[in-house]
Amino acid sequence: MLTLKQRQRRIRNALALVAVFSFCAPTLTGGTRPDEYVARAKQLIRRLYPDLDRLLQPIIVDGNRLRDPDSMGPDLMNLFTMELYDVEARRGVVAPTGWCSDPVFSAHFLFDWQTERKELVDMTAGGPGATGRRDRFARDVTGHPDWSDAQVASALSDAGARYGPGHKAELLRALPLEELKPFVGGDLEVVSAEFFVREFGAETKTSKVSLSWIVRAKWRSSDGHEARYTLAFEPFEGRLEMIHRNASIQREPDSGAVQKAPHASAPASPPDR
């Protein structure tokens, strides 16, 4: 729990960052270098969640620096969380005095600073602007622990989900693979897609509602690298809620040897079934 002094410091820092974002906004419309991580994160949000209000104010929360313990890599802001807040007074609604309320949208980003294209390695998104409808429905389903997966799927369809477990083909057609291509630095080829109604805890042996599509894809870059990506999508609008790249590898054309490239660790994805 943050103390009052810590919360006040966070608000002051957020105000400063909002001012920086507003000042730099016009520069984002032109060409963006691969190492302009925050600018690229904003562009990705705009592509994947186009209906988010442009008046929402972005701030950086818990910005961090990734240092490779095996090298003397520079300090870089390639690991950070971006949050969008509604701080505008509109239609007679009084704007809040600070950022004490929950953000409309929040996303954690990790870019690979060791490669030329600085590919997106990991992103996890949440909040009402990304997974709000799914999260509300999941809370309702939690109140019915006796429901079978079929009953949950039926209720999901009745609630207006466009991409329930019976709409795999529609989901695959709607995947934002082209939108993601400039950020992951290569082509994504779908290998599998599976809908998870529940996820099971290894320690508690209990289940909780998941309601996510888990899509596994093969990634190929123009410079010979290959990797596996895992993506997760919510079922109502097919919004991306997670993308994670596993270890990148490069195959030598002559010897057939495999060389692992440096990469950052991330939470493990759900197991194949």
pLDDT of residue 273: 38
Report whether pLDDT(182) > 80: yes
Q: Which of 122, 118, 116, 79 is nearest to 229 (CA)?
A: 122
Average pLDDT of the residues in 171-189? 96
- Asked whether the CA dihedral 120, 125, 130, 133 is positive or negative, the reply is positive
pTM of the entire predicted model: 0.75
Lowest mean pLDDT segment, chosen from 10-14, 57-61, 75-79: 10-14
Q: Spell out a b/e string for 106-138, using b for 16 or more CB atoms within 10 Å of the CB, else e.
A: bbbbbbbbbbebbbbbbbbbbbebbbbbbbebb
Report whether pLDDT(154) > 90: yes
Lowest mean pLDDT segment, chosen from 88-102, 111-125, 250-264: 250-264
Lowest mean pLDDT segment, chosen from 2-16, 148-162, 244-258: 2-16
> For the chain, what is the mean pLDDT?
77
Q: At what angle do helices 37-48 and 177-184 cross, to 10 degrees?
A: 170
Cα Rg of the chain (Å, integer): 20
**pLDDT of 14-71, one tens digit each?**
443 443 444 334 344 457 898 899 999 999 999 999 989 877 888 887 655 444 444 4
C-alpha span between 177 and 60 (Å, rounded): 26
Average pLDDT of the residues in 174-194? 96
- Residue 251 and residue 260 in contact, taking contact as beta carbons nearer than 8 Å: no
pLDDT of residue 6: 52
